[in-house]
Structure formats: C-alpha cells, structure tokens
Amino acid sequence: MTEQEQITTDLHPLHLTVNGKDVDSVLDSRISLADFLRHELRLTGTHLGCEQGSCGACTVIVDGVAVRSCLMFAVQLNGSTVETVESLCVDGQLSRLQQAFHEEHALQCGFCTSGFLMSLTAHLREHQVTNDQEAREALSGNICRCTGYAGMVKALLAVGDGESTTQ
Ligand code: FES
Ligand code: FES
C-alpha cells in the first residue's frame, strides 16, 4: 500500500455530542476538530486564524474546558461533549456575555469574537471577574488583531459584576 493510500484509508468512527445533539461520523484521523466543525457540521462560527495554537480564534469548549480546536484531531475526542459559539444563543436570546459584548461595543471586525466568547464563557463558569486585572488575565489567552480589548474588559466586568477603573 502506498503512503497516500494508507493516509486516505485511515478512517475512524466518531461519536460526539455537539451543542446538545448527537453526532456520528466516520472520519480521517488527520481532520482537526476545527475543520470537522466547520466543514462537516457547517458550524462556521468557529474561526481559524493562525492554525498553530497562538490566536485562540478557534476556541471551543470540550468537556467543560476551553480548547484550541485547530490543535486537536476530531477522532481523539470520541465520546466527548463539544460546545461551539452557536450554542450560546438559546431561542434567539443572547447569552449574558454576548449581550454585554453588544452593549459595550466589544468587537470591531469580529473575527476573534467567537474565540473570546468561548474562552470567557468557560472562564466565567469557574471564576469571578471583578476588576480590570482579573478581566485582562481572562482575556490574555486570545489575540484580537483589531486590538479592541477595552470594550471586552468592560463587557467582562459587566457580566462579572465588577467595574472598570481604566479607560
Ligand atoms: S486558529 Fe487555533 S489558535 Fe489560532
Ligand atoms: S475584532 Fe477584529 S480581530 Fe478582534
């Protein structure tokens, strides 16, 4: 068998729960979670920026933990529960964090926004955010190339019941 044939026949069954729905597939082991979500499930709210784990644009929540979906193979997550940005808005109702992003103008081009929302959603489940320092630490794992961090700090503090002391 040629190397190419071996690669194209490296298929694995995959079962996931994605945004509350069961998903079954048979998948090449090389497919990243990000590509599986975007291309197979058409959940295109998960964005790809650097594709090397630096920017955080591809962040989703797997079994309660925020992860870089560009760095994970989909098949390694067999049996896991995945949440994407599409899960945040329920019955047309934005999550508190999404609403705060909207009210505090916490995005510019929006490319990074879904990754920030998922990182911060996971963070807020475990931590309080009550001051600028805590907010900036919570934001520090993701990169916004438009550099619109001030609005995100305010949005995060609005949800965490804190108050910004800087402009
Ligand atoms: S696209 Fe995954 S971290 Fe940048
Ligand atoms: S809003 Fe443009 S990259 Fe963050």
Nearest CA to 69 out of 114, 110, 106 is that of 114
Which domains are seen in the chain, by residue range?
11-87 (3.10.20.30), 96-160 (1.10.150.120)
CA 126 to centroid of ligand 2, rounded, Å:
25
What pTM did the predictor assign?
0.91
Q: Name the nearest CA neighbour of 151 among 88, 95, 92, 109.
A: 109
**pLDDT digit string (tens) for 15-52?**
999 999 999 999 999 999 999 999 999 999 999 999 99
Nearest alpha carbon, ligand 2 atom 4: 144
Evaluate: CB of 56 within 6 angstroms of ligand 1. Answer: yes
Q: Tokens for 53, please give them.
A: 């784990």
Q: Does the Cβ of 145 fall within 6 Å of ligand 2?
A: yes
With bands split at pLDDT 50, 70 and 90, how would you rate the model's confidence at 167? Answer: very low
Cβ–ligand 2 distance for 148 under 6 Å, the answer: yes
8 Å CB contact between 92 and 34: no
Angle at 38 between CA 59 and CA 144, to 5 degrees: 35
Give me the chain's average pLDDT, please: 93
**What radius of gyration do the chain's Cα atoms show?**
17
